[in-house]
A and B are shown apart, each in its own frame.
Chain A
Amino acid sequence: MADVNRGNRPLSPHLSVYRPLWTMVLSITHRITGVGMALSLTMITWWFLALAVNETYFDVANAVMTSVVGGFILIVSLWGLSFHFCNGIRHLFWDTGTGLELETAYKSGLAVMAGSVVLTVIGVLVVRGVI
């Protein structure tokens, strides 16, 4: 039978009709932090290129990295990296078939969120030279 509506059908699952679940939020955050870090890695790679060119160019890249906007991007990226790092390990555990029970997945999600905050704080202290 001809399907006249092909390609224009509603897509399932209808994400917008669900109350956001904790595991859902963590899942999309993993993606967002991954894509976001592509942007900050571009900035960091440019900074490395400038370091390889000369001091004048490096000073420009360094000024951008240490500016208010650059610093904001870096600190958000530091949290993004911390989250993606912790949640990535959570995914590797899932790949072995462990921790997939709903209750465990909720708890490991909480641990990931807490861990990401702790790692971010440690990172800031390292950048500031406190540690």
Chain B
Amino acid sequence: MRYQTDRQRVEGLGSAKDGTTEWWKQRLGAVALVPLVILFIFPLMRSIGADFDTVRATYAHPVNALVAILFFITIMSHLRQGLQEVIVDYVHGKALLTIALLANTMFTGMIGVTGVFSIAKIALGG
């Protein structure tokens, strides 16, 4: 039995005050990653063990570069959301939890920006 009226539930948007926004963003990223992972992994697998010039040429190609950039942007939030779920489940104590969540955002942000910047530099001929 619900003790809240429908109007209250909609206006309050739950205890986090953003309703299903985070849930929906997580699913959006997950769906986007289905094709992106496939498109990203094939040139990557071909590149492992190849020489410098070959790999540079691979990622200088606009299609490979775009796929890799889209992958890094999408994985950045997917990774942050996933690790955040694990952190809130296993890390206890307000101080430790806050530190872990901040570290998570910084770490995943660094991964994403490093990936995007590196690919962009290669693709734009730096």
Contacts and interface: CB of A to CB of B under 8 A. Distances in A.
A52 B117 contact: yes
A51 B41 contact: no
Given A41-B75, A89-B34, A35 B86 contact: yes
Contacts of B48: 62, 65-66, 74, 127
Q: How large is the interface on A (under 10, 10 to 19, 20 to 34, 35 or more residues)?
A: 20 to 34
A31 B86 contact: yes
Interface residues of B, number: 33
A35 B104 CA distance: 12
Nearest to B104: A38
Interface string B3-43: 00000000000000000000000010011011001000110
A42 interface: yes
A51 B119 CA distance: 9
A123 B111 contact: no
Nearest to A95: B27
Interface in A30-81: 31, 34-35, 38, 41-42, 44-46, 48-49, 51-52, 55, 58-59, 62, 65-66, 74, 81
B37 to A, nearest CB: 6
Given A41-B111, A42-B111, A35 B31 contact: no
A106 interface: no
A51 B27 contact: no
Given A51-B59, A58-B55, A59-B52, 10 more contacts: A34-B83, A38-B79, A41-B111, A45-B111, A46-B114, A49-B114, A74-B48, A81-B37, A123-B45, A126-B45
22 contacts: A34-B83, A35-B83, A35-B86, A38-B83, A41-B79, A45-B114, A46-B114, A48-B68, A48-B115, A48-B119, A51-B52, A51-B55, A58-B52, A58-B55, A65-B48, A66-B48, A85-B37, A88-B33, A92-B31, A123-B41, A126-B42, A126-B46
Interface of A: 31, 34-35, 38, 41-42, 44-46, 48-49, 51-52, 55, 58-59, 62, 65-66, 74, 81, 85, 88-89, 91-92, 95, 123, 126-127
